[in-house]
Amino acid sequence: MKMDNVVSASGGYVSLKRGDRSIGAILIDSGRLKAEEAESILRLQREQGLRFGDAAMQLGLLTKEDIDFAIARQFDYPYLLRGQSAVSEDLIAAYSPFTPQVEALRALRSQLMLRWFDADAEHKALAIISAERNEGRSFIAANLAIVFSQLGEHTLLVDADMRNPSQHKAFGLDNRAGLSAVLTGRGGPETIQRVPALRDLSVLPAGVQPPNPSELLARPDFAQLLKQLAKEFDILILDTPAASDSADAQTVTMRAGGGLIVARRNASRAGRVRGIAEHAIQTNATIVGTVLNDF
């Protein structure tokens, strides 16, 4: 995709023309480096045979974070700048892609690609489920959606928790229309919102809280919606309500065909985790694995 020579900082994501890829140019255009400072760095680089980044850090003009930022732009790897986006800074995959926590998310992504998404062309959707509230289910769902989009997969995060929705808040999106509107025939494709700062990521928020979320999810319309979305997206990640609150999570997992269980270290009870796995299996859904969350 061609881009203009001018830098765009929409939503805090900086993008450049593909032909303009030097680290110095990226940092100047993003406001992290002045032109005269770049000249000083280049002089030291030539004098001592250093790499640009090493010379810059030796002069104290740039940090390792600045260099990582520029290298990520060179390789078309989008992440966000703190304070410059409506996306919540709790979403570590969006803001801190070089941390051990995000490496763990990438490892999880790789396992899911091997065990679920690449196992069968029909496997496009995965429900993220947990036994109780506050076990990190929505956090894992959002960050997984981000790392899949960073891989270049056309990814949709569906907030199927119509009881206590949170993904619209996490991504700074409008929640006046969403899944509840689609399932009642009052909304269409326009309810899906792109996250402009993160290429290849879109979100279908939960929408206005309906009085009958269980019935809406159990209708054939929800199954048909997932089939349609699977034609338009490579990956569907579905956030769900806590299994202890209702049968919604079980229904969503059945419709998706597979589920990933999230448990919280030193908090989740093994019996409850086994229970939601058994319920999913009873509906012929596959439990792809379990994530022990420390966040």
Output 14 or 247, whichever has higher pLDDT: 247
Task: Give the H/E segment covering residue 156.
Answer: strand 155-159
Contact 175, 201 (CB under 8 A): no
What CA–CA distance (Å, rounded) separates 135 from 272?
12
What is the average per-residue pLDDT within 194-212?
93
> Looking at the predicted structure, is the pLDDT value of residue 5 above 90?
no
Nearest Cα neighbor of 256 from 291, 277, 283 is 283
Per residue in 265-283, pLDDT (tens digit) is: 888 888 888 999 998 888 8
CA angle 41, 42, 46 (to 5 degrees): 120
At 210-239, the pLDDT tens digits run 999 999 999 999 999 999 999 999 999 999
Averaged confidence pLDDT in the chain: 87
Give the other-Cβ count within 10 Å of 271's Cβ.
8
Distance separating alpha carbons of residues 222 and 38, to the nearest angstrom: 55
Predicted pLDDT of residue 120: 58
The yes-or-no verdict on residue 149 having pLDDT over 90 is: yes
DSSP 193: E
**Which long-range contacts link 79-83 to residues 24+ away (Cβ below 8 Å)?**
79/13, 79/150, 80/11, 80/12, 80/13, 80/197, 80/198, 81/12, 81/13, 81/14, 83/12
Do residues 260 and 289 touch, judged by C-beta distance below 8 A?
yes
- Is the model more confident about 70 or about 72? 70
Gyration radius of the chain's alpha carbons: 21
**Domains of the chain by range and CATH?**
10-74 (no CATH), 92-293 (3.40.50.300)
Q: Mapping DSSP to helix (H, G, I), strand (E, B) and coil, where does residue 202 land? A: strand
State the pLDDT at residue 21.
64
- Residue 74 confidence class, pLDDT cut points 50, 70, 90: confident
pLDDT at 295 over 70: no
pLDDT given at position 239: 98
- At CA 267, angle to CA 139 and CA 286, rounded to 5? 60
3-state DSSP call for residue 77?
coil
Confidence of residue 69 (pLDDT cuts 50, 70, 90): confident
Nearest-angstrom CA–CA distance, 167 and 36? 43
Question: What pLDDT, on the 0 to 100 scale, is given for residue 121?
Answer: 65
Q: Is the pLDDT of residue 264 over 80?
A: yes
Q: Tell me: the pLDDT tens digits for 12-54?
A: 333 333 444 688 888 888 788 898 998 999 999 999 999 898 9
Distance CA(229)–CA(111), nearest Å, equals 23
3-state secondary structure of 197: coil
